[in-house]
């Protein structure tokens, strides 16, 4: 019994000793690791790794010399914008002063001090070199347009800042090639989304240094309006156009293809000023020569002293054989519901009535009736009441031209 008590006592003492040993071991380990952590060296890195400046939207990379502690950077236009925020990358765990987020005047040298984690300091000096001042050049050097294989060059008055260019009537929506001073930019007075070079405008050139100059752009449009695809040689077409000035000395209308060329006679030449500043609108009648040869590739041209200033954009036909000939009509005065009867030779199944209200009313073969001999053409006047003067409260007789169409 006594031996048992002694055994229990010894076991109890052993447990106490073991617990005490474990406590001592834990404390020792904590002290060891704690001391090793305290002894871990702090970083001594205090470098500027990269340096950038942004001047007038352009970024410039600095060259960092870690021996001389100088950062050299070449810029353009620093004289215009010198108070800048730098983009600086430094060593890990380091800090920098002054704060890069604070703008500095880089016209003069600027010092940045980098402090390492262990407190060691290193000072870098930023030295800028403005390689050139921002350009003040702001000229429009050339303006041109290529349209249907032909190039059109503008005449530019650099003193009064006026751009004059002669363009085909239907070329206004084409892109114009504009050359300006290097580094400059160009804006227009056209409304946003509506750039049409057939209309006058102000072209504003902005130089690199921010100065501006305005040019007055004056397009001079010249050309013919729509012509029909085919004409009989005895037709007298009404032609309209813009700036077709037949009053100029040595001006002419020429009809030609690869084999034939005819100088056309014209009559009833009229001009009207355009309120939109595009020039003078023209109306006139042209007369084909009696000896004209039938062809399907004629071009109508406006020439002055032999130089072609305008060519109608599409070729058209002139038919000289079996041309229609009107010999008479059934009566001279018509009211609504009447039937117009045209008599003649080689008549065509189409009529255009140019009414007094300025509109043209076309009747094709589905509406008119042409006899088999092509000598009688019937046109019922049972619709299009608006072409009669009475529709517009006009009750006097008004002469109305009637044209035969090719069908």
- Predicted local distance difference test score (pLDDT) of residue 39: 60
pLDDT tens digits, 211-255: 999 999 999 899 998 888 888 898 888 899 999 999 999 999 999
Q: What does the alpha-carbon distance between residue 316 and residue 222 come to, in Å, rounded to a whole number? A: 19
- What's the CATH fold of domain 140-221? Immunoglobulin-like (2.60.40)
Q: What does the alpha-carbon distance between residue 269 and residue 284 come to, in Å, rounded to a whole number? A: 4
Q: Which residues of the chain have pLDDT under 50?
A: 1-9, 36-37
User: Is domain 225-319 in CATH 2.60.40, yes or no?
Assistant: yes
Q: Indicate the pairing of strand 295-304 with strand 280-287.
A: unpaired
- Predicted local distance difference test score (pLDDT) of residue 58: 85
User: Is domain 48-132 in CATH 2.60.40.2340, yes or no?
Assistant: yes
User: Can you spell out the DSSP letters for 271-313?
Assistant: EEE-TTSS-EEEEEEEE--TTPPPEEEEEEEEEETTEEEEE-S
In the chain, ranges of CATH 2.60.40.4120 domains = 140-221
Q: What does the alpha-carbon distance between residue 139 and residue 215 come to, in Å, rounded to a whole number? A: 9
φ, ψ for residue 118, nearest 5 deg: -90, 5
Give the count of beta carbons closer than 10 Å to the beta carbon of residue 291: 9
Please give the distance of CA 25 from its chain centroid, rounded to a whole number.
Answer: 83
| 8 A C-beta contact, residue 154 and residue 166 | no
| 8 A C-beta contact, residue 181 and residue 207 | yes
Q: What does the alpha-carbon distance between residue 116 and residue 40 come to, in Å, rounded to a whole number? A: 15
φ, ψ for residue 33, nearest 5 deg: -65, -35
Closest CA to 200 of 214, 181, 213: 214
Closest CA to 160 of 198, 202, 221, 214: 214
Place of tokens 């309209």: 240
Could you tell me which CATH class the domain 325-404 is placed in? mainly beta
Spatial CB neighbours of 101, under 8 Å, sequence gap ≥ 6: 85
Q: What does the alpha-carbon distance between residue 203 and residue 157 come to, in Å, rounded to a whole number? A: 13
| 8 A C-beta contact, residue 383 and residue 365 | no
In the chain, ranges of CATH 2.60.40.2340 domains = 48-132
* pTM of the predicted model as reported, rounded to 2 decimal places: 0.62
CA distances from 137 to 75, 142, 211, 274, 399 (A): 19, 14, 9, 37, 63
| 8 A C-beta contact, residue 285 and residue 267 | yes
């Amino acid at each position: 019994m006594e031996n048992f008590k002694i055994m229990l006592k010894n076991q109890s003492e052993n447990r106490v000793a073991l617990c005490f040993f474990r406590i001592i071991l834990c404390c020792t380990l904590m002290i060891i690791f704690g001391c090793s952590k305290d002894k871990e060296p702090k970083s001594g890195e205090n470098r500027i790794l990269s340096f950038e400046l942004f001047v007038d939207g352009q970024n410039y990379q600095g060259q960092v010399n870690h021996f001389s502690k100088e950062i050299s950077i070449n810029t353009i236009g620093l004289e215009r914008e010198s108070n800048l925020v730098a983009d600086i990358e430094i060593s890990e765990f380091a800090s920098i002063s002054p704060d890069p987020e604070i703008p500095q005047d880089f016209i003069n040298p600027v010092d940045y001090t980098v402090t390492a984690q262990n407190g060691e300091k290193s000072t870098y000096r930023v030295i800028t070199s403005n390689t050139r001042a921002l350009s003040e050049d702001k000229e429009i050097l050339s303006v041109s347009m290529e349209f249907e294989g032909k190039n059109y060059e503008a005449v530019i008055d650099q003193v009064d800042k006026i751009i004059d260019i002669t363009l085909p009537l239907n070329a206004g929506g084409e892109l114009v090639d504009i050359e300006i001073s290097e580094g400059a930019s160009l804006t227009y007075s056209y409304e946003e989304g509506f750039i049409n070079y057939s209309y006058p405008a102000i072209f504003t050139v902005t130089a690199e240094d921010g100065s501006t100059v305005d040019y007055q752009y004056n397009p001079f449009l010249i050309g013919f309006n729509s012509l029909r695809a085919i004409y009989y040689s005895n037709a007298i077409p009404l032609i309209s156009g813009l700036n077709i000035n037949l009053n100029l000395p040595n001006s002419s209308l020429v009809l030609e293809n690869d084999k034939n060329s005819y100088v056309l006679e014209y009559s009833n030449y009229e001009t009207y000023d355009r309120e939109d500043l595009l020039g003078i609108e023209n109306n006139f009648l042209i007369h084909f020569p009696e000896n004209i040869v039938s062809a399907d590739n004629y071009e109508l041209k406006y020439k002055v002293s032999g130089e072609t200033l305008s060519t109608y954009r599409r070729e058209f036909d002139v038919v000289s054989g079996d041309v229609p000939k009107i010999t008479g009509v059934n009566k001279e005065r018509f009211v609504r519901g009447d039937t117009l009867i045209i008599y003649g030779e080689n008549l065509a199944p189409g009529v255009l009535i140019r009414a007094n209200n300025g509109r043209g009313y076309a009747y094709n073969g589905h509406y008119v009736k042409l006899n088999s001999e092509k000598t009688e053409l019937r046109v019922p006047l049972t619709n299009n009441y608006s072409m009669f003067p009475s529709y517009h409260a006009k009750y006097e007789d008004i002469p109305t031209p009637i044209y035969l169409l090719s069908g």
